[in-house]
Amino acid sequence: MKAGTLEAILADIERKRPVVLATNLDSGEQQLLHRGDGDSEPERAHVERALRVDGCVTTDADSGPQVFYQPFNPPLRMMVVGAVHIAQPLSVIATLAGYEVTIVDPRESFAAGERFPGVTLNLDWPDAALESLGLDQRCAVVTLTHDPKLDDPALQVALRSDAFFIGCLGSRKTHASRLGRLTKAGFSEADLERIHGPVGLPIGSRSPAEIAVSVLAQVTQKLRKP
Amino acid sequence: MPDQSEMEVLVAARDWQTAGHGVALATVVKTWGSSPRPAGSHLVVRDDGSFLGSVSGGCVEGAVVEEALGVMKAGVPKVIEFGITHQEAWEVGLACGGTVRIFVEPLQ
């Protein structure tokens, strides 16, 4: 590897810019590819797949030189909107699963440090908070407040971002009215299909911790089996 | 990926080279069966034989370091493979019965 290539990888990691190192295992030649880069359509697909599943991809030896595609992705992050009861177990298990968790809630009585030891709290209004956190393809956004004043601004930012997962807590009825409001705000049907609502896999969860498990399970499914 | 420890390996590779050392990087490119470290795992080796990271959880690191020192001298990358079937040839192998293919390259 050229020293410059290593520098460039480290710089991209620092800037949270996804990059793939393509190594020709026969010749040792290497190049760095960003999303959309590549000499051919299959190569662009390999780059996309490596980044998407966050795993290495090796081409078949039969079809020309063997190439090894290794992704360097930014860290996984989860933005939890609403410092409500469920946010407590969700922030804990998401942290265990490797996410950098930020809880967003402008209501100081909810977003109290003692309720969320060791978790980053952001007390800005959700749209401003999510804008400043810079959502990317390694981010999951989960809204928990049930309050359109807080959830909707967060969703508007999330829907305009590349976040890989967007989910909303709430009954089917509140979700239907949420989709109605977002449609009025100008979002298309395709946009709204990105939202998982009610969020979580249907495993019959009752307690906040069980609901948190179902949410993280759904986020994991979207991440690993998109 | 990269998790914190992989990040440390890459940073060490850069820092060692900046400090004037010869450096080689070993990367797991493929695994078969059960093997402790997934594709993409790194081991970085310095010209004095010290190393950081892991490509097998400890089973073949010694042999990989030897190969890495050779690659540093030759200046040419190579692919090496360890597994139960190569155990006698290499005198090392994976206790778990898996096979691992590793790309070893000099940092230039």
pLDDT-based confidence at residue B96 (cuts at 50, 70, 90): low
pLDDT confidence of residue B99: 83
pLDDT confidence of residue B37: 82
Quote the CA–CA distance of B80 and B103 in Å, as a whole number.
Answer: 6
Q: For B25, name the nearest residue in chain A, comparing CA atoms only.
A: A1
Query: Per-residue pLDDT tens for A131-165?
Result: 999 999 899 999 999 999 999 999 999 999 999 99
Taking 80 as the threshold, does the pLDDT of residue A62 lie above it?
no
Identify all chain B residues contacting A3, using CB atoms and an 8 Å cutoff.
Answer: 14, 17, 107-108
Q: Which of A90-99, A178-187, B52-61 has the lowest mean pLDDT?
A: B52-61
- Mean pLDDT value across residues A171-198: 96
pLDDT confidence of residue B1: 46
Task: Enter the tokens of residue A62.
Answer: 């039969």
Identify all chain A residues contacting B14, using CB atoms and an 8 Å cutoff.
Answer: 3, 6-7, 10
Judged by CB atoms closer than 8 Å, whether chains meet at B29 and A58 is answered as yes
- Mean pLDDT value across residues A187-205: 96
- Report domain extents, chain A: 3-72, 77-224
Residue B68's domain spans which residues? Answer: 4-106
Mean pLDDT is highest, among A33-42, B76-85, B95-104, for A33-42
The structural domain count of chain B equals 1
Quote the CA–CA distance of A140 and A63 in Å, as a whole number.
Answer: 37
Proportion of chain A above pLDDT 90, given as a percent: 81
A203 shares contact with chain B (CB less than 8 Å): no
pLDDT confidence of residue A214: 98
3-class DSSP state of A4: helix
- What ipTM goes with this model? 0.85
Alpha-helical regions (H) of A34-125: 41-53, 87-96
| Long-range contact pairs involving B8-13 (C-beta distance under 8 Å, separation at least 24) | B8/B52, B8/B53, B9/B42, B9/B43, B9/B44, B9/B52, B9/B53, B10/A6, B10/A9, B10/A10, B10/A13, B10/B42, B10/B44, B11/A10, B12/B44, B12/B52, B12/B53, B13/A6, B13/B44, B13/B107
> What's chain B's average pLDDT?
84
Quote the CA–CA distance of A90 and B57 in Å, as a whole number.
Answer: 31
- Mean pLDDT value across residues A187-196: 97
Judged by CB atoms closer than 8 Å, whether chains meet at B17 and A72 is answered as no
Query: Per-residue pLDDT tens for B27-56?
Result: 999 988 777 788 999 999 999 999 999 888
pLDDT confidence of residue A101: 96
Q: What is the CATH number of domain A77-224?
A: 3.40.50.720
Residues in CB range of A40: below 8 A, 6 or more apart: none
pLDDT confidence of residue B3: 60
> What's chain A's average pLDDT?
94
Tell me which of B1, B5, B105 to substitute to probe the interface with A (most A C-beta atoms closer than 10 Å).
Answer: B1
Contact A170, A197 (CB under 8 A): yes
Q: Which residue has the higher pLDDT, A28 or B84?
A: A28
Quote the CA–CA distance of A8 and A62 in Å, as a whole number.
Answer: 31
Task: Determine whether A27 is exposed, middle or buried from the number of CB atoms within 10 Å of its CB (0-12, 13-18, 19+).
Answer: exposed
Query: Per-residue pLDDT tens for B48-71?
Result: 999 999 888 777 888 899 999 999
